[in-house]
Structure 1
């Protein structure tokens, strides 16, 4: 439409007339406020266009249009001012956006549904909500959702609409091939949307067009197959293809919600079973078919999970108990009571064992028996005797430590575990010096007491994950798994030597012994347990020959690495004093506005002789030594100082993101300390964002929840960094007071070529939005990645495509250039 400056419609095409329900020519010479009224100022000739004219930098708006029949509808307006001979004319392009708003409404329904599912609602509860909302959105007379049952039935979970009373009037089946009219069965069997048109039920709309009402059945597809169906009866006529496509996508998300709800129900059953006892546990259905077992069950019975699932529990029958015994047991259980008793069962390989068994019935929502939980406690004398024999065979009788036999077995197990995790293991041998002199001068009794004291000290010295053993007369060994680096092994060796060096009082005599230590590393030295033992022994002998109370790694290369790390640690302490650090800044782009929203502050170390040292090299050392605390304080203060500098230059008010390490996060006064720095620098808390990896917050989720809440109350923004590379409990994630999730660059790097990476990124974006969080994607290097992330709904991007990390003095020029750059 063209509108003159006085609000009169000068011209309007056929589409504009149709949009507002007028015949061609009827709109001409009318005031535009007739079709685009401003409800706040109804007498304004230009209607809602007056607000657009008053905003010279904005030519697009969403408003409410008014049709000839007085019905309202949402409309998008794009206005262009054109200079004419008789004054300015305003050209408006308009489109009906009701379909887009339908999509937004559907998204809102899905988000609410997922929240309901995560709160533990049943299929019936959240499906009823979905049906009600579809009826509200489309005005349908009937909407219902049903689940596909294995016996051929479709079980109606929920129905809504004016025709829902008494629905269904007869059972609905998906396996009846004789039905002449069966859209539900067709949709289930073909896994395709089925549309049935009711030719005898036509509706004539206001334009005189005939519409045929429809029944549309959408299969609810998940990765497990068909979950059920969503059936919709149209109101006035056919649903347009766009709406049907949106509903097909909508139905996939419903199926996902149903699958999540089913998974949660399974998890609740397992939790209930585990809460009953810590022994062997299994769950059966009402008929006694095994549905779930724990690892203790496999150890006790000898059966693997795949050998017993969906089998009757009678697989364990020994034949010792008679039929009357089992009848009494089942009568008790079926009456809803707990049964306790002693039972002899048969191991997979034929041996018999005795258990104290507790069987607890589980009721469904209608107080009907649905499952049984059984807990077994092995009480056989044979097992007790075997336990005593095993202890004698595997433990040193003098010190109580594991002996060489158990040491070798455990080393194999730990190395196998390390291989699956991709971690390292340190094997540390220690040989006491001067021990023979103690035996010769004070006697073997004194020597035995000394060994007990040293064994006790070593057991207390190590972490719970380390394994200590006595492998010879005066030799001890430590197996340390999940090794963080060579320095950690060296530190453990030094602690071991210092522990042994501590004086021991025996019979009023102060006894001093020392130790030499040899170290080998898995998998660096070898992946064979016997070779690793030999290498540690060789390193031990080298230490014995070299100097008292010394330790040696098996390879010289490892010694050099350890020394280099120690040198780097010394240099790191000097660097803090000599101001060798600098901050670089990498911008973050808001995809909605196209503006630079924030910068991430990244520390760089310019070593006087090594040049630039990678943060990957020095940050772990700083964390291990505690230097990360003063280093982190410097980064925070320096980042905020630059915000003040840029504010004084009149640059846009941007935010800054600072990384927080695990050590910093554990500080008791973290929130108060950061708040103090913000006050000193006069920076609003919301302009500071703290980034933490998900592994940091999940180390102690409850404690993390408290710390995050305190930081959030200060007003600081919080982000989970490298999301997707660790493990996050959704139950905690939805409780955490965080504002953003940062998708790890490993998923972004190949997302335009790798379908799985793209889908993972999309899933994280949807998950974050469901939880009300902004999503930041790291490592964006190409235009194609940016566009794909924009399509997927990502909020913010960061990466080389926007800019590499830059020195602080380059930020002002970058910000000025970014104001005119289109991404």
Structure 2
């Protein structure tokens, strides 16, 4: 072989002997890989010290050809060029005793805008070795100077047939494509393109059939700038073109079957689409004839040429005519392919007649209805191997679409019957879309409600709403059906004329194939039954005066809850109206009833949600608090109850105010009783003690809770006095810069100092303060006090912010007013838990606050929340305070130390400062300093101090 001819090729080419020695490199290979005196091919392109076939990702094509005896091999390789790392497709061909490697730059082929095939589609083509390298002369009909040996696999002609001039390249191009290919070559030459990619065209094979190819062509110039030849790669894409046509046919079939309403229409559409889109010769659909046990034709399309008149196809396998594709597909339910009529053994009974009509391959597709085969679709092509096994999935998709269409037709037929039944039913039937808008009502709905269909279609079922059922009922309904679960309930609805009616209704969510939801409501009018039942219920379980549960109803509800929730901490509160008999005697029973209603309304307003309320005797009310998270919450709940009763219990009668006094007894479940009877007795005993002490007395049955409530009352007195006499003060605890040792700022810590000099610490009053009416007054004092100290000391001071204050709509504006013109920042400390209660709202408030340059945000107790690190990236905070619990444990516990170090590192990455609080030893201080914590706070350096002591420290 004359290797010099390879210099014409515009891609790198290497000639290699069987010992992997490089015996020749064309000009392009030298340009890309550089001049080399290295012996082995892998030393040039891979920088390996071993042959590349040692590496799984780089199998050596020469080695593979030596092992398998093949004359060509293709593989994707990663090569190291002077421009950097690139991926090449290496096409190797055997040429006598040598191997010629063409290195095709994949970037050049597949990253151009005019390429019509996706790389993922073309990749398998490369891996199957279907790429052929061509060099043809710029002469009439394009004689071939060189072609890789695997050309025989695609067109059947050998490389010698081309290079010896027996076959010219233009001779192979389909007559319908030749003119267009020639124009594309002329256009590439005229526009002086570096290379071009032809639109797919067809080449004639030695057998006489045609294959589709994709062609990239590169012009080759001589030293005078004249094009002497063309170098190109052609890729066999016959399979891909055929798949595309199959998919196109399938899409058109899918479009067509949407509109059909009968099986006859469906069969006509399917057959005509297949013949038109796939150039199929003939299609027919057959069903079993029970009398003859043969298939009879129910529809056919295409060029039959009398085929079905001269052959027979049996249903059973006892005859040879039943063992072909049609019978086998019907019996097994599987798609059966006849790849080649000439050679397929089971086609003998029909072979002669099929070949006469050029039916060279065929396929039978079973048509199913409700998973049972009812017919077969039989397709005949003029090419052998037209229905390859690899195309079977498309045929299966066609089979699935046919089944869907047939079942849809049956559904439509059934729906017509069902629609008539529903229309004339004596049951309530309403259908809505997923937003609850009515799409259908039957006649019975109109008969009950008095509305016409026109008045209801497009409306929401709330048109029937009576107001008897609360918001929670409808929220539960909507949440249930939105989660695709059925909802059963008794609905109190209102007719067009305003009358009520009761409906025992079931709402069923139905998810459609497109993912949308419909809701079907089926119901029965139970108005008569319900009216009688409700009246009996009310007389038995409800108090006529207040409309609350009577004692029996209250007992039943509480007992039922305890049985269903035996582990829930709950409380029973009994409220007795003090001297109610005197009120009745003085003002009359009617006024007494009005006072009972008045008190019932107050309790309903403040305690009805999630609790049970009843009138348990003539002058006594019961409240059962269902679920209390913690016993420590009880004093605060009782304080709230006390505040409500003290504020609200003033009944007006003809301009006169009747002040209602009370006593309260409280028991706790399960501490004071394991059932209703026991906790009722315990609450009654507590109420008895309360009555003995006078009016407006609250008593717990539990000694522990009694002590807590006493403590709460004391705290309330202290707090009230502090607000009235301005007894709040701040102590200040400094925090220090770890790098300079200087004071970086103070944290303000609230105290109450009474007239005798006694100091009350936050544990004595802070929980009550945050729940009380005094919080707003305290907040205003705190912001004013801190801002004045910042002006006086010119140093940052932090102030702790309560959850209630932080969430108040006016909070940000109040802070901004105080922060104007400060010489140093005001630092607002909020807890991590407060931030995570509502991250989005917290972020908005923080963004509003940080419009002022004198405000900093500090996150307190960091690390104790359950999602600390996940929120750290979103925090627009300036300072992170590492919780004291981590600081205390980090010396003994390695994992805790890692957490502290991680918080410091992450905060630094996010541009935040860190304060380690609760530092009490030198060892803790040294470790935090080594970790690069920004600030240190704790007893080791300084305890909280008075204002005077803080000023002395600053002066020092």
Larger Rg: 2
TM-score range, shorter chain: 0.3 to 0.5
**TM-score, length-scaled by structure 1:** 0.46
Name the TM-score, length of structure 2 as normaliser.
Answer: 0.40
